[in-house]
Amino acid sequence: MIVEPRFAPVRQVFQDQFAEGLELGARFSLVIDDVTVLDLWGGQADRAGAAPFDDRTLAPVFSTTKALAAILVARLVAEGRLSYRQTVASIWPEFAQAGKGEITVEQALSHQGGLSGFRFAIDPALWFDWKGLCAELAAMAPLWPPGTASGYHPITFGYIAGEIFRRIDGRTMGTALREDLAVPLDLDLWIGLPDGEFPRVAQMERPKAVPSFGEVNIATRAAFLTRWASPGGRSGDEWRRAEIPSANGHATALALARLMGRLATTGEGVLDPAVRDEMARERICGQDLVLPYVMSWGAGVMRNADSGAFGPGRLAFGHSGWGGSVAVCDPERRLGLAYVMNRQGTDLRGDPRARRLIDAVYGCL
């Protein structure tokens, strides 16, 4: 473990959350000026309490994976191979069906495309068929007029972003993540997990209650509340192997914090700061049609703005994941941080455990 003396209060919060019975296993990491100043882990990696949650434990991070997808798309922008303002259909012609021809890449990445989920039934196993699922999305009519509001796309985001990426780059996002970022920067990050890594994965303890979605509408129901809203009909091993860049990333907190920390400084090997800022620039802000929050969206990332979910920094951005995981970049304070765990909470954004740790960090600065 690493604990610079000034961050001792953060360590105390981390320990208190275990003492209060809020955690099964967890890790919290902080990088400032590209230096790891805090790296805490503890608890159990399995529900039986037979395996420790240690520095090699991989945690499923669910929608925190979207931050990785957003960075991969931004790298295409940095290379001049993609513009956020061009239409998705200019890259993926089939996407123009059913009135979607004018949806831009930045609208799609900021959850404005009206494709939060499928209103009508599909086979839940179709989520494991990349081409088949993308064909369904291309044919689908938007659930609201694109560009008029955001409505969180919990799973479909990964296929839209991933197909844009694949059509330009030729590789899947999982392959590009490993080849371009994870291996060169020695980061324990995965979208699509090889079988040999399975023993390191923490067992998740699902929440004992369901999240509160507020007023449920068609967009919310399609996103979360149908039997086909998420992948099904396959084994857990097949879920780990699949490449779903919106939902099934696996990572350590340290790897996420180091990536976000590099973004917060020079961006070397990841993204130039100017492109980082363009990725994080606000595309839309207002009451989300799916999440029960006012959301400020960049091109694939949650902006902190006035929410406080990522601390006091208004320019901080990142993404949270189902159950509580989070990865944050704060360019003003040149820091990256991440929290992962295997006892899932019910908050859709701003898990109280993560917020306590984040608030403690800023209290030490």
SS (H, E, C) 142-177: CCCCCCCCCCCCCCHHHHHHHHHHHHHHCCCHHHHH
Of residues 63, 116, 246, 320, which has the active-site annotation? 63
Would the pLDDT of 29 be above 90? yes
- Locate the domains of the chain by residue range: 2-364
* Interatomic CA distance for residues 164 and 154, integer angstroms: 17
63 is catalytic: yes
* CATH of range 2-364; options 3.40.50.360, 3.90.480.20, 3.40.710.10, 3.10.180.10: 3.40.710.10
b/e sequence 44-55, b meaning 16+ C-beta within 10 Å: bbbeeeebebee
CA 324 to chain centroid:
11
- Single-letter residue type at 286: G
The tens digit of pLDDT for each residue in 221-251 reads 999 999 999 999 999 999 999 999 999 999 9
* Mean of the per-residue pLDDT values of the chain: 97
- The whole-number pLDDT of residue 306 equals 85
Secondary element (H or E) of residue 326: strand 326-330
* Interatomic CA distance for residues 344 and 328, integer angstroms: 19
Secondary element (H or E) of residue 59: strand 59-62
The tens digit of pLDDT for each residue in 279-308 reads 999 999 999 999 999 999 999 999 999 899
Cα-Cα-Cα-Cα dihedral of 185, 190, 195, 197, to 10°? Answer: 60
The verdict on pTM exceeding 0.85 is yes
Which residues have CB under 8 Å from 225's CB, separation 6+?
213, 216
Which residues have CB under 8 Å from 192's CB, separation 6+?
172, 174, 241, 242, 243, 248
- The whole-number pLDDT of residue 42 equals 98
Q: Give the pLDDT mean for 10-25.
A: 98
Longest dimension (CA), the chain: 58
Which residues have CB under 8 Å from 127's CB, separation 6+?
133, 155, 230, 231, 232, 242, 244
Closest alpha carbon to 118 in 262, 282, 231: 231
* Interatomic CA distance for residues 298 and 277, integer angstroms: 9
